[in-house]
Amino acid sequence: MMRWETHLHTQEGSACARSSAADMVRGCKAAGYDGLFVTDHFYHGNTAVDRSLPWAEWVQQFCLGYYHAKETGDAIGMRVCFGWEYSWDGNDFLTYGLSPEWLAAHPETVTLPPIEYLRLVRSAGAFIVHAHPFRKEGYIPAIKLVPDLVDAVEVYNGGNREDLYNDRARWYAESYGLPVTSGSDTHSSDCFTGGILTDADICTAADYGSAVRSGAVAGLMIKGKECPL
C-alpha cells in the first residue's frame, strides 16, 4: 500500500511556506510516505515568485520547489511529482498532470477567466481537485463550486481550522458523485496529516488521476491516521 502526500508547499514557490523543498521531501519520507506532489501557490495565489518577471523566467522560478524536491527525492528514494494550486478569489484548485514545459508554453493560464482556465487545463489532460472547497477565511469572499469542471474533491485538508469544512466537502463530493482525496496542505516539514492510500503503482501525475478516477484509492490519511474509504 502506497502513501502519497497530494498537497504540499515549498519556500521556493509559496510565500507562506516555512520549509525548503529538500526539507519537505525528507520530512515527508520520515513521516512514512512513498511519494508527494509539490503544489505551490500559482500566480494568482500566495506565490513567492516576482510577478514582474518575464513569463518564461517566472515559470522557471516557480518550478524550483519541484526541481529541488525531485532532486532530493531521487537521492533518498522518494517519488516526487509536479502540480500547482490555482487560486480563484481564494477558492483553490489543485492542478495535476501538466508539465513545467506545458506551463511555460501557456502564459494565458494567468489571463484567462477562471472558468476558462479550468476548461483549458482539463482539455490538455489535467486532473483537477477542488481543495478545501468550504474553508471560511477572511481572504475568501465567497465560496465557488464548479462540480462539472473538477475531477475530485479534497474532503480532508490538514490546514482547515474546523472539521465542519471537511465534512461539508465530503457532502459536496457525495452529492455530485465525485471521487475524494485528502491532503496535508502542509507548509512545514514536520506537519503531515493527509494523503491517499493506494495499491496502484503511482509514478506520474497521470497515474494518480487514473487511480482516483478508477476507485483504486483504498483509503485516506486523516489527521495522520489511515482511514479506509
pLDDT digits (tens, 9 = 90+) for 150-208: 999 999 999 999 999 999 999 999 999 999 999 999 999 999 999 999 999 999 999 99
> What is the pLDDT at residue 44?
96
Q: What's the rounded mean pLDDT across residues 140-147?
A: 97
Burial profile 203-216: b = 16 or more Cβ within 10 angstroms, e = fewer = eebebbbebbeeeb
Average pLDDT of the segment spanning 206-215: 96
pTM of the model: 0.97
What is the CATH number for 92?
3.20.20.140
pLDDT band at 37 (very low <50, low <70, confident <90, very high): very high
Split at pLDDT 50, 70, 90, the class of 14 is very high
pLDDT for the residue 42:
98
Residue 15 domain boundaries: 2-228
What does the DSSP 8-state code read for residue 110?
G
Helix axes 64-76, 21-30, angle to 10 degrees: 40
Q: Which helix (H) or strand (E) holds 106?
A: none
What single string gives the DSSP state of each residue in 30-87? Answer: HTT-SEEEEEEE-TTSSBSS-TTS-HHHHHHHHTHHHHHHHHHHHHHT-EEEEEEEEE
The total number of structural domains that make up the chain: 1
pLDDT value at residue 60: 98
Q: How far apart are the first and last CA of the chain?
A: 14
According to the model, what pLDDT value does residue 118 have? 98
Residue 79's pLDDT is 98
| Per-residue pLDDT band at 139 (split at 50, 70, 90) | very high
Position 179 scores a pLDDT of 98
Question: What is the mean predicted confidence (pLDDT) over 47-76?
Answer: 98
Average pLDDT over residues 84-111: 98
